[in-house]
Structure 1
Amino acid sequence: MHPYRSHTCGDLRATHVGETTRLSGWVHRVRDHGGLLFIDLRDHYGVTQCVIDPDSKAFKLAETVRSEWCIRIDGDVKKRTDETINPDIGTGEVEIFIRDMEVLGAAKELPLPVFGDLDYPEEVRLKYRYLDLRREKLHNNIMLRSNVVADLRQRMWGIGFNEFQTPIITASSPEGARDFLVPSRLHPGKFYALPQAPQQFKQLIMVSGFDKYFQIAPCFRDEDPRADRSPTDFYQLDLEMSYVTQQDVFDTIEPVLAGCFEKFGGGRPVNRNWPQISYKDAALWYGSDKPDLRNPIKMQVVSEHFKDSGFAIFANLLKQEGTEVRAIPAPTGGSRKFCDRMNKFAQGEGLPGMGYIFWRKAEDGSMEAAGPLAKNIGPERTEAIRQQLGLEVGDAAFFLGGKPKAFQTVAGKARVIIGEELGLTDL
């Protein structure tokens, strides 16, 4: 028999009942049931329940083991009783009766538990990263990353792309962030840079006559951390194609990414008919070139309703070249409390404020527009705005005016907040 294992902790099934097995792994959990010890043994592949009683020669040693000790056990595969079957794990129909045991590596008291999903301070998790990554959620995340990268490679190879690796030490090639610099040993006082993207090298590959290139490329950028990106480096699917149009690139990459999301998206449906949005439209509708389309809100230009109106701030703004007024529809947002909160948000972002109109039911049962803007521009203009935005009783609209570059980013943030707070975004 192999010195460490005949099976992994994810292998054994009911078909193995009656066999002798050897497993090695970490002690996930120990449970004492009145002299009968249960040890959940874990490795990369899964968890197997092991049991030992005082008749076993290894019982005294088994009493000493604790969580995250690394052990090797020899035992017999037995079928669990129907009431003790665990359908949540692949090995849930069987258990191992331990005949012999060896401690491969004992562990002191743990600085953070591996069993469970308790939240611990980041500095503790990073200091003991090897323990943190043993936790089920983190372990699965690392495996997901590995499998996604492998899947992308297979898909790119399958459509005729070749993978090439580009240099990591290079001359500076700014991509919009700060470079990481590496001092040169051979040329004192001079520095190499870590690439923010393999831009120059992949273009050299293309002009050298290689038709289709891709790389799962590391990108090093000395920038602040983001929610979805490490502060120092990240990896991207990088590709180049020869003799193609922009549409050819779209048509090539769409099935690659859609297929990957279908495979690893947990069964969630993936729309393979991706909308193609120009930068101009994205800036107008969403205030961002990377909008979250789970949020259905689209901003619209409503300048014509404020020209020569009784709302002097917007009316005077629109007399200046390059200015406009945009509306952010807010279905179900028609309360003064919510509108005042969004106005305060805009002020916190450095703008004078954000105008609003909300529609409510009047005492006579009809619909009426409320808010300072509605009073200033009158019922005819507010009704035209409502119809353009497709709003009803209980809805609201927010307004920002001026040169788009001055308010566009704030408008995009407001759109996100409105969608989340009103439950419009499909999370």
Structure 2
Amino acid sequence: MLEHLGSFQRTHYCGEISEKDLGKEVRVAGWVDTTRDHGGVVFTDLRDRTGKVQIVFSPEISEDLVEKAKKLRHEFVIAVKGEVRRRPPGTENPKLKTGEFEIYAKELQILNRSLPLPFPIENEIKVSEEVRLKYRFLDLRRPKMAQNLIFRHRMYQVVREVFNKEGFIEIETPYLTKSTPEGARDFLVPSRIYPGKFYALPQSPQLFKQILMVSGFDKYYQIARCFRDEDLRADRQPEFTQIDFEMSFVRERDVMDVAEKVLRALYKELLGVEIGEIPVMSYDEAMERFGTDRPDTRFGLELKNITDVAKRCNFKVFRTVAEKGGIVKAINFEGGAGLSRKEIDELTKFVGIYGAKGLAWIKVLPEGKLQSPIVKFFTEDEIDEILRRLNAKPGDILFFVADKPDVVNPALANLRLKLGKMANLIDENKINVLWIVDFPMFEWNEEEERWEALHHPFTSPKEEDVEKILEEPGKVRARAYDMVLNGVEIGGGSIRIHREDVQEKVFKVIGLSDEEAKERFGFLLEALKYGAPPHGGMAFGLDRLCAIMRGEESIRDVIAFPKTQRGQCLLTGAPDSVRKEQLEELHIEIKDEEGEEV
């Protein structure tokens, strides 16, 4: 028979029982973690979100209470009143925060029972993520998952404390807004009141925070929910959270300083780690040395450009690429000469994922001889130059990729990471943060044969490059900055365009007509005509940053109710069909491929 709380009132959380409570009567409540019958005395570990405490049901106090305790099972919900005592010497549990104490029960109320569990409530479990997400209410009871969400809560508090101290104002922006494509598909919400019209869920608060700057709120921040209808992976969700802020009358360094204060405070307050000076690296340097604009600088294996040598060698593959404007880059995998041909073939297949047509290699054998199918095509001087640039030594293997930059760089950048993990070169305890700056303003879309904004079309060009926008868009640099942590972009932003004439030039380069620009972004363009101040800002990916700080590989493990990689909520069954009456209210019909109404 189940009981009610009645006059019971909890006085302590389970994980907070301590020395100061010895001899006191306390009331605790939670879930039965384990129960052990030791010959008449029943021991129960009771758990809530703060931890566990041992409850003792002893016949010295009540035989009836012991019999009642014997009926307890995993995850029963109970309330207990009892006296806090010190555990007898030798029975302490050093793994528990409360391991020196126990509660001798005087009263027990069984508030609810539980069915047998689909998986145990413990940190390390062997069960599929699909099962965990279906029973998320149980998954979140696991101490590790509970601590992830508590850690996330503490992140919110630290973030708000930093911004409030810096004089920022927290302002919410709308969830139901106008569709203004920003790189991904919008989630659309049909309007019942305006048939055929749609709201869009915001991909970011970008336009609204710029309008807030025009409105005179010179320091804004928000822990903002954002929505993007895009293909998902471990670090993507259709709905995610940003630490978003914007400032007026600032230059790049002003925004970057605030971002650094947020990051430093999070690491110091939550992990006790001091973040030192954060270096700045240009986009061009990052691409040249690492092949990516989010380099992991915790280990070496840097890329080396040998295109000039390739131009004069007799290896046709290299020479042809170099003569056609492509590049040839290489990595020295130190100590890797022992790789088998099978392992090299697997690495060749791996770089093929990124478009590379092949992976050339040269082994520097321990005795100093070279082994490779391509060595014969190089002169002795050319080989010496390559070995010198790559700092090659006996026992090393050199890998080469030749192609267009947008093939070579990602192929070798990902090969570098794979080799770094293979050789255990990455120190997981290191925290390497850096800024990447001086991004190109535009990138060329070969398929559509047009320029696109590398970040977004509201990013300001560098002042000295404004005159190049229309004539030489490929040479324009953006006033953008990304923060990279251990090879992951955790935040990015820019100084924004605040002049209508510059904004019009950018729209023209990316192929937006005046009519299209007005249709998509008319409210922002109108605002720029009324005294818009110079402004800039940034956004951190809170989910991603939280996952990194907690040592989780997937952001799903730091989100209470995430979606799967297919965008489904296995707990609720969303997305799901709705009643025909609801669709009729929205003037929506669903038809099959043949055009027949479903």
Q: Shared fold by TM > 0.5?
A: yes
1:78 maps to amino acid: R
Partner of 1:426: 427
Counterpart contact for 2:40–2:66, Cα < 8 Å: no
Instruction: Look up the match of 2:92.
Output: 85
- Measure the CA separation in 2 of the matches of 1:299 and 1:287: 7
Letter in 1 for 2:385: A
1:346 has 2:351 as partner:
yes
Return closer, same or farther for 1:368/1:277 CA change in 2, 3 Å cut-off: same
Please give the secondary structure, in 2, of the residue aligned with 1:10: helix
Of 282, 288, 294, the match for 2:298: 294
Tell me the equivalent position of 1:24. 29
Mapping 1:145-164, distance limit 5 Å? 145-164=152-171
Aligned counterparts, 1:207-246, within 5 A: 207-230=214-237, 232-246=238-252
What CA deviation, in whole Å up to 9, does each residue of 1:102-156 have, x standing for no partner? Answer: 1111222223221453132233222221111001111111111111121111112
Q: What CA distance in whole angstroms lies between the structure 2 residues aligned with 1:408 and 1:224?
A: 23
SS in structure 1 at match of 2:199: strand
CA distance in 1, matches of 2:410, 2:176: 36
- What SS does structure 2 have at the residue aligned with 1:167? coil
Pair 1:121–1:161, CA change in 2 (3 A): same
Structure 2 residue aligned with 1:280? 284
Deviation at 1:348, TM superposition (A): 4.8
In structure 2, C-alpha distance between the alignment counterparts of 1:270 and 1:76, rounded to whole Å: 42
- Secondary structure at the residue paired with 1:84? coil
Paired residues for 1:351-366 under 5 Å: 351-362=356-367
Contact 1:9 1:42 in 2 (8 A): yes
- CA drift of 1:44 comes to 1.8
SS of residue in 1 equivalent to 2:335: coil
Matches within 5 A, 1:367-406: 367-406=368-407
Distance between the aligned counterparts of 2:76 and 2:27, measured in 1?
16
- SS of residue matched to 2:117: coil
Which structure 1 residue ranges, 5 or more long, are not aligned?
none
Does residue 13 of structure 2 align to residue 8 of structure 1? yes
Aligned partners of 2:363 and 2:398 also within 8 Å: yes
Cα deviation 1:39-87 (Å, max 9, x = unaligned): 0111122211011123413122111111111111111111112211122
2:356/2:403 contact within 8 Å kept: no
Q: CA deviation at 1:181?
A: 0.7
Indicate the SS of the match to 1:248: helix
Q: CA deviation at 1:259?
A: 2.6
Change (3 A) 1:346 1:228: closer
Which letter does structure 1 place at the counterpart of 2:317?
I
Contact 1:294 1:426 (8 Å CA) reproduced: yes
Residue 323 of structure 1: aligned partner: 326
The structure whose RCO (Cα within 8 Å, separation 6+) is larger is: 2
Hey, what's the Cα distance between the residues in 2 that align with 1:129 and 1:325? 49
Amino acid in structure 2 at the alignment position of 1:323: G
Relative to 1, partners in 2 of residues 1:389 and 1:160: Cα closer, same or farther, differing over 3 Å? farther
Distance 1:349 1:203, change over 3 A: closer
> Does structure 1 conserve the Cα–Cα contact (< 8 Å) formed by 2:355 and 2:407?
no
The answer to which of 153-162 and 54-63 deviates more is: 54-63
Corresponding position of 2:307: 303
The alignment's TM-score, normalised by the length of structure 2, stands at 0.67
Q: Distance in 2 between matches of 1:375 and 1:335?
A: 21
| Partner deviation per Cα, 1:263-305 (whole Å, 9 max, x = no partner) | 334x5x5542222122222222222222222232221211122
Q: Is the counterpart of residue 141 in structure 1 residue 148 in structure 2?
A: yes
The question of whether the paired residues in 1 share the 8 Å contact of 2:51 and 2:143 is answered with no
Structure 2 CA distance for partners of 1:250 and 1:426, relative to 1, 3 Å: same
User: Is this contact kept in 1: 2:170–2:222, CA < 8 A?
Assistant: yes
Distance 2:402 2:44 in 1: 66
List gaps (5 residues or longer) in structure 2.
1-5, 429-598
Partner Cα distance (1:158, 1:395) in 2: 53
- Residue type of the partner of 1:312? K
Number of the residue aligned with 2:210: 203
Residue 226 of structure 1: how far off its partner (Å): 2.2
For residue 277 of structure 1, give the secondary structure of its aligned residue in structure 2: strand
Identical columns (%): 39
Change (3 A) 1:142 1:247: same
Q: 1:256 aligns with which of 233, 248, 262?
A: 262
Whether the 8 Å contact between 2:267 and 2:275 is mirrored in structure 1 is no
Moved over 4 A (4+): none
Q: Which moved more, 1:169-178 or 1:270-279?
A: 270-279
Amino acid at match of 2:337: G
| 1:328 partner letter | I
CA distance in 1, matches of 2:348, 2:407: 16
Deviation at 1:255, TM superposition (A): 2.6
One-letter code aligned to 1:333:
G
Q: Distance in 1 between matches of 2:20 and 2:240?
A: 44
1:11, 1:313 → 2: CA distance? 68
Q: Distance in 2 between matches of 1:2 and 1:375?
A: 89
CA contact 1:17–1:77 (8 Å) conserved in 2: yes
1:332-357 Cα distance to aligned partner (Å, 9 max, x none) = 22235244432232345443201112
Residue 46 (str. 1) matches residue 51 (str. 2)? yes
Kindly report which structure 2 residues correspond to 1:153-192, keeping only aligned pairs within 5 A, or say none: 153-192=160-199
The one-character-per-residue Cα deviations of 1:180-220 (angstroms, maximum 9, x if unpaired) are 11111111111111001001100000111111111111110
For residue 15 of structure 1, report the CA deviation from its aligned partner. 2.9
> Which residue of the partner structure matches residue 472 of structure 2?
none
Match of 1:127 among 124, 128, 134: 134
Q: 1:168 to 1:180 in 2, by over 3 A?
A: same
Shift of 1:9: 0.8
The question of 1:112 aligning with 2:119 is answered yes
Aligned length: 419
- Residues 123, 144 of structure 2: 8 Å contact kept: no
Residue number in structure 1 paired with 2:497: none
Specify the alignment match of 2:104 in structure 1: 97
Tell me the TM-score normalised to structure 1 length. Answer: 0.93
**Cα-to-partner distance string for 1:316-367 (whole Å, 9 max, x where unaligned):** 22222x32211122222223524443223234544320111221222xxxx2
Shift of 1:176: 1.4
